[in-house]
Amino acid sequence: MPARTAQQLIDRLQKQPPAIYHRGKRVLDVTTEPGFKNGVQSLASLYDHQWENRDVALYPSPDSGDLVSKTFMIPTTQDELSAIGDAMHQRAEFTQGMMGRMPDYLNRSLAGYAGSADFLAVQGEQFAVNMRNYYQHVRENDLALTHTLINPQINRAVSAAKQKDPFLTARVVSENDAGFVVRGARMLATLPISDEIMVFPSTLLRSPEEDAPYAFGFAIPNHTDGLKFQCRETLDYGRSAYDHPLGARYEEMDAVVFFDDVFVPWERVFLYRDVEVCNNAYLATGTVLHMAHQVVCKAIAKTEYLLGLASLLVDAIGIEPFQHVQDKIAEIWINLETMKALRFTAEYQAQPNQYGVMTPAHAPIDAARNLYPKLYPRMVEIIKHLGASGLVAMPTEADVNGPLSAEIEKYYQSARLDAHDRIPLFRLAWDTALSAFGSRQTHYEYYFFGDPVRMSMALFRTHDRTAYMETVRDFLNRSA
């Protein structure tokens, strides 16, 4: 089947609804449920967008010849990798980078695993075959995935096996010829309003024996029996796009995942009970680098949006003469160019990995994914500092059309905009930086790829610095 359209995504969600729980009830249809339906529409619109931009967004499937999303491509050349980057950037631009969990992110995960599936064969050829088949299934049906990697936040001082109850963290209960059964929970899954879920390990598993029942990688449909998504409270409050320009569009939702004796068939299993293989899988296959490549492209689009937004705020209220204002805009601009430089370096220095997949260069990708969690909160702070009271002084759409409309027209004008244009701009800045939606975005950018503290510890361990140490030693030993 060729790449999907918006309507096909909606039809599938209606036919095969995931078990979504929200504010004390089961949501039967996310495509019509207040608090969910607008996020579903935005997700769906990405599927029409890919057809409207087919030259950038689609490519012929190597198997069927149908046009499929380029975000599934397994690149073998730098040009292909750059073309994937361009497609991901264009799609992220369409949502101002505010849908962190566009399907592209996990499409890259699957492409990474499928391209290097031979790594999975160390546990048995069937695991590699399963991955290649699953990748093909998702690509040819253009499915949207969520994933869950982290164990529930109960006691972080001890491993999954040492929690009060061994089944607090999702764990294998039993297995037979057809598959195995999982019980317990995982957090977090962003975009539960999708078709399938990848359940992979990213938390470091410690003991080869004790942690083996927690060591698995599999994927199943979101409507599988026993699989339940407990959502946080929606940040789409059912207001107009005028009042909540982002929240009313891009609620992708986050959920804790409950596995109530969920059956996983063997053909959907890619990693099983081998702690070492699980711990190495993301890096050894290069999958984490392909995912981070998407993250960097999205971060560039998001920073472009922030630069445009901050510049419009400055222009609207005439604060461009002030030196600190110029400095703050310069800071966002420098961030943007830094992220672009890291993306292009990662593509330019890409090399085929041992499985022949053109893999983004590790060092610039690692620099970018460790840097952005620090840059994003700072840029949001800049929006707050530039907008000042203007961000909390904005009337709603009802006010603009209400009994004080004449006063609002008069007093909400700015140096270069009349009230009619100024209010939506400042509401957008508020929804970016101050609203509950904006606040969750900042939290997302800080945490979604992992704990920045542990990520920089990993960076410290991974990247060799001996050449630089040698240079300093040589200098110290130089006689003149």
Ligand X SMILES: Cc1cc2nc3c(=O)[nH]c(=O)nc-3n(C[C@H](O)[C@H](O)[C@H](O)COP(=O)(O)OP(=O)(O)OC[C@H]3O[C@@H](n4cnc5c(N)ncnc54)[C@H](O)[C@@H]3O)c2cc1C
> Where do contacts with ligand X occur on this chain (CB under 6 A)?
147-150, 153, 156, 188-190, 254, 440, 443-444, 447-448, 450-451, 453-454
Q: Give the residue with the Cβ less far from ligand X, 270 or 412.
A: 270
CB of 105 to ligand X, least distance (A): 9
CB of 378 to ligand X, least distance (A): 18
CB of 380 to ligand X, least distance (A): 14
Q: 419: how many CB neighbours lie within 10 A of its CB?
A: 18
Structure tokens at 264: 């996983």
CB of 187 to ligand X, least distance (A): 7
Q: Give the residue with the Cβ less far from ligand X, 170 or 419.
A: 170
Is 19 in contact with 26 (CB distance < 8 Å)? yes
- What is the dihedral sign for C-alpha 59, 289, 351, 337? positive
Q: Give the residue with the Cβ less far from ligand X, 94 or 444.
A: 444
Q: Give the residue with the Cβ less far from ligand X, 453 or 480.
A: 453
CB of 190 to ligand X, least distance (A): 3
Cα-trace Rg, the chain: 24
CB of 142 to ligand X, least distance (A): 20
Closest by CA to 427, choosing from 408, 444, 407, is: 408
First-last CA distance in the chain: 70
Q: Give the residue with the Cβ less far from ligand X, 61 or 169.
A: 169
* Residue 219 main-chain phi, psi, to 5 deg: -140, 135
d(CA 149, CA 142): 22
Pairing of strands 58-60, 196-199: unpaired
CB of 354 to ligand X, least distance (A): 27
CB of 428 to ligand X, least distance (A): 21
CB of 200 to ligand X, least distance (A): 8
Q: Give the residue with the Cβ less far from ligand X, 282 or 412.
A: 282
Closest by CA to 100, choosing from 58, 184, 43, is: 43
Instruction: Classify residue 266 by its DSSP letter.
Output: G
CB of 33 to ligand X, least distance (A): 20
Closest by CA to 303, choosing from 251, 327, 338, is: 338
Task: Detail the DSSP E strand segments found in 266-405.
Answer: 269-272, 351-352, 358-359
Q: Give the residue with the Cβ less far from ligand X, 328 or 369.
A: 369
Q: Give the residue with the Cβ less far from ligand X, 460 or 468.
A: 460
Q: Give the residue with the Cβ less far from ligand X, 392 or 457.
A: 457
Q: Give the residue with the Cβ less far from ligand X, 188 or 332.
A: 188
CB of 356 to ligand X, least distance (A): 28
The amino acid at residue 158 is V
3-state secondary structure 159-193: CHHHCCCCCCECEEEEECCCEEEEEEEEEEEECCC
d(CA 83, CA 91): 12
Strand, helix or coil for residue 27: strand
Is 103 in contact with 194 (CB distance < 8 Å)? yes
Closest by CA to 306, choosing from 329, 283, 274, is: 329
Closest by CA to 214, choosing from 265, 272, 270, 261, is: 272
- What is the dihedral sign for C-alpha 7, 9, 15, 17? negative
Q: Give the residue with the Cβ less far from ligand X, 26 or 443.
A: 443
Is 357 in contact with 116 (CB distance < 8 Å)? yes
* Residue 197 main-chain phi, psi, to 5 deg: -125, 135
